[in-house]
Amino acid sequence: MDCRPFKAKDPHCVYSEANIITLLRLMGSLSFFTLALIEKSPTYNYIGLGIHWFGDVLDGFVARKTKQETILGAEIDIIADRVEILFFFVNFLTFNPRLYLPVVLYIVDFAFVDFYLSYQFLKFDLISPNYFYKVDKTVFLLNYSPAGKFCNSTVVTLTLIFLPQLWIAAAVFAAGLIGIKVYSFHRLNKKR
Residue 66 is predicted with a pLDDT of 92
| Same domain, yes or no: 84 and 1 | yes
| The pLDDT of residue 134 is above 80 | yes
| Same domain, yes or no: 75 and 117 | no
User: Do 88 and 52 contact (CB within 8 A), yes or no?
Assistant: yes
Residue 181 is predicted with a pLDDT of 98
Residue-wise pLDDT for 86-124, tens only, equals 999 999 999 999 999 999 999 999 999 999 999 999 999
Mean pLDDT, range 135-140, rounded to an integer:
98
Mean pLDDT, range 56-78, rounded to an integer:
95
With a threshold of 0.75, does the pTM exceed it? yes
| The pLDDT of residue 3 is above 90 | no
| Same domain, yes or no: 103 and 141 | yes
Handedness of CA 86, 91, 95, 98 (dihedral sign): positive
User: Do 22 and 55 contact (CB within 8 A), yes or no?
Assistant: yes
Mean pLDDT, range 48-52, rounded to an integer:
98
Residue 4 is predicted with a pLDDT of 67
| The pLDDT of residue 9 is above 90 | no
CA distances from 105 to 21, 66, 174 (A): 29, 36, 6
Residue 13 is predicted with a pLDDT of 80
| Same domain, yes or no: 53 and 143 | no
Of 60, 75, 95, which one is at a domain's C-terminal end?
95
57 Cβ contact partners less than 8 Å away, ≥ 6 residues apart: none
DSSP state of 153: I
Of 79, 95, 111, which one is at a domain's C-terminal end?
95
CA distances from 86 to 30, 36, 42, 92, 104 (A): 10, 14, 15, 10, 10
Give dist(CA 57, CA 80) in Å, integer: 13
Reported as a pLDDT band with limits 50, 70 and 90, residue 6 is low
Give dist(CA 32, CA 44) in Å, integer: 5
Residue 136 is predicted with a pLDDT of 97
10-14, 22-26, 30-34, 43-47: range with lowest mean pLDDT: 10-14
- Domain span at residue 11? 1-95
Domain count, the chain: 2
